[in-house]
């Protein structure tokens, strides 16, 4: 079965510093990986995805993510954090196998706190 | 832009009540989902539907049922609400399966409190 793990419940970073939110995955077959952001009392919004190709993918709001097949990781990064980046971040993997095609599996979420 | 609308954002219901959570999407998506979000547990799939009148159980279907009479509408039903169903419920949809890079689109969520 597909799964993702986000090992950190919370990440604290100062504004202007680089940030990393970690995600590791377990899949059978090729991974199709996504990052989403959730602001308080809102639904999840798509940030970026890795399907194939370049291991470094760029997304919305200056975020990027690095796919590492050998370490089965897909960490979310941003070179310079903003206070407005403070939110809950979810990593997800899409299942494309047979019966479970189109199901998305989400990590437990990481709360990012960016302090001024 | 894709819009997934959950008509009730905040609800308070009593134990034993029947509860309906409604979700409508405006992009003709085949696939629709209901997730439950709890702190520390992430999103857990309750039910999904890949076509009108078709439904499949997700990971935590117990205590829930769903209805999809029209393509754009997917309803979650709590037959007899219990306090352990107090949670944030998220509806989502995805386009047809043809492109594996399709993302999943979420509604704003429905906060349900069962007292």
Q: What is the CATH classification number for the domain harbouring B25?
A: 2.60.40.10
Residues of chain B with Cβ-Cβ distance to A36 below 8 Å are 106
pLDDT at A100 over 90: no
Nearest to B42 among A45, A46, A107 (CB): A107
Is the pLDDT confidence value at A99 over 60? no
Domain residue limits, chain A: 3-95
Q: What is the pLDDT of residue A101?
A: 62
Question: What is the extent of the structural domain holding B84?
Answer: 4-114
Please give the CATH number for the structural domain made up of A3-95: 2.60.40.10
Whether B27 contacts chain A with CB within 8 A:
no
CB contact under 8 A, B42 and A45: no
Give B40's contacts in chain A (Cβ within 8 Å).
9, 108
Which one has a higher pLDDT value, A2 or A43? A43
Determine the 3-state secondary structure of B112 from DSSP. Answer: strand
Which of chain A's residues have a Cβ under 8 Å away from the Cβ of B35? 106
Checking if the pLDDT of B96 tops 90, the result is no
* Nearest-by-CA chain A residue for B90: A43
Cα angle B10, B14, B19 (rounded to 5 degrees) comes to 60
Q: Any idea what the Cα angle at residue A35 is, between residues A82 and A16, rounded to 5°?
A: 15
pLDDT of B39-78, one tens digit each? 888 899 999 998 898 999 998 999 999 999 999 999 999 9
Q: Report how far residue A57's alpha carbon sits from residue A90's, in angstroms, rounded to the nearest whole number.
A: 16
Task: List the single residue in A with minimal CA-CA distance to B41.
Answer: A108
Q: Do A43 and B106 touch (CB under 8 A)?
A: yes
A51 CA to chain B: closest CA distance, Å? 6
Query: Count of domains in chain B?
Result: 1
User: What's the rounded Cα separation, in Å, for the pair A113 and A11?
Assistant: 6
Three-class DSSP category at B85 = helix
Q: Which residues of B touch A103 (CB under 8 A)?
A: 45, 48, 58
> Are B100 and A90 in contact (CB < 8 Å)?
no
């Amino acid at each position: 079965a597909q799964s993702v793990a986000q090992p950190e419940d919370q990440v604290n970073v100062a504004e202007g510093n680089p940030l990393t939110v970690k995600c590791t995955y377990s899949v059978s077959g090729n991974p199709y990986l996504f990052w989403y952001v959730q602001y308080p009392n809102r639904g999840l919004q798509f940030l970026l995805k890795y399907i194939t190709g370049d291991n470094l993918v760029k997304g919305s709001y200056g975020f990027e993510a690095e796919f590492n097949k050998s370490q089965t990781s897909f960490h979310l990064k941003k070179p310079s954090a903003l206070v407005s980046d403070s939110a809950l971040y979810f990593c997800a993997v899409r299942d494309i196998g047979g019966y479970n095609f189109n199901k998305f599996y989400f990590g437990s979420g990481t709360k990012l706190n960016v302090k001024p | 832009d894709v819009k997934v609308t959950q008509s009730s954002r905040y609800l308070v219901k009593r134990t034993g009540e029947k509860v309906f959570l409604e979700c409508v999407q405006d992009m003709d998506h085949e696939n629709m989902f209901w997730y439950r979000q709890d702190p520390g547990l992430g999103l857990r799939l309750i039910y999904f539907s890949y076509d009108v009148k078709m439904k499949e159980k997700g990971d935590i279907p117990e205590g829930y049922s769903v209805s999809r009479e029209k393509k754009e509408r997917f309803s979650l039903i709590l037959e007899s609400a219990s306090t352990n169903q107090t949670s944030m419920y998220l509806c989502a949809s995805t386009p047809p399966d043809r492109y594996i890079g399709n993302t999943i689109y979420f509604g704003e969520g429905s906060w349900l409190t069962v007292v």
